[in-house]
A and B are shown apart, each in its own frame.
With several copies, the nearest count.
Chain A
């Protein structure tokens, strides 16, 4: 199966790419893709606890099974909204 991997913010910087195409075995989950990625880019492992994941532009969980052609995104902690993100 072939999936598109989307990376944002510092994860994108670490990979040096916003999009990667990767082949994964049948039965793979989002977690499978992540494990592959962190082998390729060890610095990403820091984000294992803090990141979120999305499958086809919807939030998902690591355990989620993926299908051929899926779009998997890894998202560092977010900081949208105003200026410099000072709480309250």
Chain B
């Protein structure tokens, strides 16, 4: 079964399958010079707290649409780039990967930029939340107000991606 480019699920992430997914898409075969990837891992500490594990929750249908939007934005910005984004939900222990991204392109600069852009945008607009369990309690981590039409946020992501 071919790995989907975009997915959300409880299973551990397998970066190899994302890389295969962005590398074997039709006409682009053989023209790619670079594949970059990103794995986001659960860390054992956060703002001074000893973290034991995280639990991720997603509004799955909207999260997949957000990933589609991010891919569309990246393809428009970096021509010929292909992206795969898989996000894990449920309990993830320390060292486990919560998100995996792969980006393929003819040129390495575009592959790096698109990969970085994708993680920045995921953090801005994907309806995914994490609950942090630490020694002594737990807390919902709340970051940005998700607004895909926020132009300033999008420009910030582009700037960080430094294409």
A interface vs B, CB < 8 Å? 6, 8-10, 13, 50-52, 54, 57-59, 73, 75-86, 88
Contact = CB atoms under 8 A, between A and B. Distances in A.
Most buried by B among A9, A75, A79: A79
Given A9-B140, A86-B33, 16 more contacts: A9-B129, A52-B145, A57-B65, A73-B59, A73-B62, A77-B144, A78-B143, A79-B130, A79-B140, A80-B56, A80-B63, A80-B122, A81-B98, A84-B54, A84-B132, A85-B143
| Top 7 A-B residue pairs of the complex, sorted by shortest distance between their CB atoms | A82-B40, A80-B128, A84-B46, A9-B129, A57-B61, A79-B143, A81-B123
Contact of A57 (B59, B144, B148): B59
Interface in B141-157: 141-149
Given A76-B142, A78-B146, A85 B62 contact: no
Interface residues of B, number: 50
B121 to A, nearest CB: 9
Interface string B91-108: 000000011000000111
Interface of B: 33-34, 39-43, 45-47, 51, 54, 56-59, 61-63, 65, 87, 98-99, 106-109, 119, 122-132, 140-149, 160
Contacts of A85: 46, 123, 130, 141, 143
Contacts of B129: 8-9, 76, 78-80
17 contacts: A8-B129, A13-B140, A51-B145, A59-B62, A59-B146, A76-B129, A76-B140, A76-B142, A78-B146, A79-B141, A80-B123, A80-B127, A81-B123, A82-B119, A83-B42, A83-B43, A84-B43
Most buried by A among B54, B87, B145, B149: B145
